[in-house]
Amino acid sequence: MRLSKIRFKGEAFEHNPETLRVTDKANVKEDNLLFDEPQIRRTGRKCRVISGKGQFAGENCIFKYTQLLRLYYKGGSGILSLPDIKPFFAYFTRLELSCDPTPELVEYYFEFVEDFSSGIKTVEPYFHTGTGGENLWDVSYAYGVDINTLVKLNPEIRFINESLNGIKVRIC
């Protein structure tokens, strides 16, 4: 797995967690036919669940945890980027302090659930107005447009990681 940082709603986790689990499950239906063996068939898939465990160490570990807690409390769906997995929309559904915080160590568990309702946006609007901590990478993921295309279409945006809060980005 690449060592790229986990990102949610344009904000990067300072350190990737110790463990990361991505759970994909199928929807299945059992058909009971009269005098026949039951038949199981796949009817699609359920939302992915991304969970893991991490820790912050050092004298500012509580501050780092509260930053993660603020991101959790923002609520709503956003783009979740994980190492080696195509970004998708998700909800930050769980953040749990898993031990008594000490001045030097905080451990936590987290969970995201995929948001099927958002889906991949189309390029119909031609423009996207940046919000929050979004950058060109986030827009690229949300609209399925190659980052190099966005850079060429938006020469006024000097840095790919620049915050786009209120900036109109050309999509196509």
Do 146 and 157 have their domain in common?
yes
Do 21 and 94 have their domain in common?
yes
| C-beta of residue 106 within 8 angstroms of C-beta of residue 144 | no
- Distance between CA 168 and CA 8 in Å, rounded? 21
Do 150 and 90 have their domain in common?
no
Q: Note whether residue 34 is domain-resident.
A: no
The proportion of the chain whose per-residue pLDDT surpasses 90, expressed as a percent, equals 20
| C-beta of residue 139 within 8 angstroms of C-beta of residue 160 | no
Residue after which a domain boundary falls, among 98, 119, 140 = 119
The DSSP element (H or E) to which 111 belongs, if any, is strand 105-114
- Distance between CA 110 and CA 51 in Å, rounded? 5
pLDDT in tens, 87-99: 888 999 999 988 7
Do 109 and 138 have their domain in common?
no
Q: Note whether residue 37 is domain-resident.
A: no
Residue after which a domain boundary falls, among 119, 134, 158 = 119
Do 102 and 49 have their domain in common?
yes
Do 114 and 131 have their domain in common?
no
Give the residue among 20, 51, 53 at the shortest CA–CA distance from 113. Answer: 51
Picking from 52-61, 63-72, 98-107, which range would have the lowest pLDDT averaged per residue? 98-107
Q: How confident is the model at residue 118 (pLDDT cuts 50, 70, 90)?
A: low
CATH at 6: 2.40.30.200
- Distance between CA 122 and CA 37 in Å, rounded? 44
CB atoms closer than 10 angstroms to residue 61: 18
Do 71 and 150 have their domain in common?
no
- Distance between CA 66 and CA 56 in Å, rounded? 11
CB atoms closer than 10 angstroms to residue 154: 17
Residue after which a domain boundary falls, among 104, 119, 134 = 119
Phi/psi class of residue 70: alpha, beta or left (left: φ > 0; alpha: ψ in -120 to 50)? alpha
Do 70 and 85 have their domain in common?
yes
CATH at 151: 3.10.350.10
Threshold 0.85, pTM exceeds: no
Do 149 and 171 have their domain in common?
yes
| C-beta of residue 137 within 8 angstroms of C-beta of residue 148 | no
Domain span holding position 166: 120-172
The number of domains in the chain is 2
121, pLDDT greater than 90: no
